[in-house]
Amino acid sequence: MSHEISTRILLQQLASGRPDDDLSFELVLDSFRHRSYGLFLLIVLIPVFIPIPAGQGAFSGLLTTLIGAQLLWQLEHPWVPAFIGRKTFKRAHVINFQRRFDRWLGFVEKLCKPRFEYAFDHAWARAFSGLLLVVLGVLLALPIPFTNYPFGMIVLAFSLGFIERDGLLLGIGWILGLVEIVLLAEFSGLIIGHLADLLRYFS
């Protein structure tokens, strides 16, 4: 498959217009359907890096889980419920995200290229990506301190991998995702163990 569009150019296209314009998930996905999974991940991650009021950070995690579930189900293009598809966000959020990450994306763009593309087309590889995104999305939605940025950066690697069709970058996302899940599980186990010891001490 040809490398039709880069993440940086895609963001520039989304950011072109008035900052107070309303964009909907449905409109964005219809406009860039050939990169819809990666783009959907990119859009739902914006609240993680550009804080938006009204609990949008947790919403990002839930949508990440929805995307992962659809990859597990082997859907060719992401589907969103009507109430989510109609949900709007200001173009200003995309503009702020683009300004903050443009230089970094320019660097990543030089390294990215379509390779190991079976990671996007093979059923088991897509299912593995989906499973990791389900778990990462659930963890991202939980109110765990100091985890939004690490989980956000890992899911961003998935997003860029899907947009750029770069299987190597996706593989890096797999590894980082597994490491983060294991570390969090170990950390949670230690906390639970200490709490159990504390309860036994006072009982």
- Give this prediction's pTM: 0.81
- DSSP per-residue letters across the chain: ------HHHHHHHHH-S-TT-EEEHHHHHHHTGGGHHHHHHHHHHHHHHS--TTTHHHHHHHHHHHHHHHHHTT-SS----HHHHT-EEEHHHHHHHHHHHHHHHHHHHHH--SB-THHHHSHHHHHHHHHHHHHHHHHHHS--TT-HHHHHHHHHHHHHHHHHTBHHHHHHHHHHHHHHHHHHHHHHHHHHHHHHHHHHHH-
- With the C-alpha atoms ordered 46, 47, 48, 52, is the resulting torsion angle positive or negative? positive
Domain boundaries, the chain: 7-202
What is the predicted pLDDT for the residue at 4?
Answer: 56
What is the predicted pLDDT for the residue at 190?
Answer: 57
> Among 73, 38, 45, 43, which Cα is nearest to 136's?
45
What is the predicted pLDDT for the residue at 192?
Answer: 62
Residue 31 to residue 25: CA distance in whole angstroms: 10
What is the predicted pLDDT for the residue at 128?
Answer: 95
Query: Which pLDDT tens digit goes with each residue over 120-149?
Result: 888 999 999 999 999 998 888 877 777 778
Residue 140 to residue 68: CA distance in whole angstroms: 13
What is the predicted pLDDT for the residue at 1?
Answer: 40
What is the predicted pLDDT for the residue at 33?
Answer: 63
Cα-flanking dihedrals φ and ψ of residue 89, to 5°? Answer: -145, 155
Tokens 């709490």 found at: 195
Distance between first and last Cα of the chain: 64
- Average pLDDT for runs of 10 along the chain of length 203: 65 86 81 75 81 63 91 85 81 86 81 88 92 90 76 90 92 94 76 58 57
